């Protein structure tokens, strides 16, 4: 669904994903907005919550902290504390995990780009999922015989 006109999408109209921890919503994606170069979402982690470790083999991840304090664990070893108005660029293929060790909810905006050749190749979990369920449907090319 590629489009050449601006497309407004409201956070209240996109599903919430809790499988990897926290409250993750993909706001602008190939499916929701016709994006062709990446996707953008919002995450909210309550105190004590985390997003499991994962990596993106085809995409850089851009993270911007709106409120609260997050700790990013990089490659299982180094830790980066992120406060409001901090941004973090995570290169392609680098394992990372986000933790809210603070006392208030943490809200982040993230963008991943470019898109993987197929959605099932774009996100590799390196820790077990916290909840079962289908992956978010970001859209894009459909894998033959695999998830879309």
Q: What is the pLDDT of residues 98-144, one digit of tens each?
A: 999 999 999 999 999 999 998 889 999 999 888 776 666 666 543 33
- 38-72 per-position pLDDT tens digit: 999 999 999 999 999 999 999 999 999 999 999 99
Q: Tell me the three state secondary structure of residue 70.
A: strand
DSSP secondary structure, 80-115, as one string: EEE-TT-EEEE-TT--EEEE--SSS-EEEEEEEESP
Whole-model pTM: value is 0.86
| Domains along the chain with CATH numbers | 21-120 (2.60.120.10)
């Amino acid at each position: 669904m590629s489009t050449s006109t601006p497309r407004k999408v409201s956070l209240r109209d996109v599903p919430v994903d809790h499988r990897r921890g926290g409250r993750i919503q993909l706001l602008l994606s190939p499916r929701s907005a016709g994006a062709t170069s990446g996707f953008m979402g919002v995450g909210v982690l309550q105190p004590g919550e985390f997003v499991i470790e994962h990596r993106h083999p085809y995409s850089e991840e851009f993270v911007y902290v709106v409120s609260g304090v997050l700790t990013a664990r990089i490659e299982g070893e180094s830790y980066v504390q992120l406060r409001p108005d901090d941004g973090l660029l995570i290169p392609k293929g680098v394992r990372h995990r986000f933790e809210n060790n603070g006392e208030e909810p943490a809200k982040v905006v993230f963008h991943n780009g470019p898109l993987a050749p197929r959605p099932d190749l774009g996100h590799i979990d390196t820790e077990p999922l916290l909840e079962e369920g289908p992956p978010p449907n970001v859209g894009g090319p459909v894998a033959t015989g695999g998830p879309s």
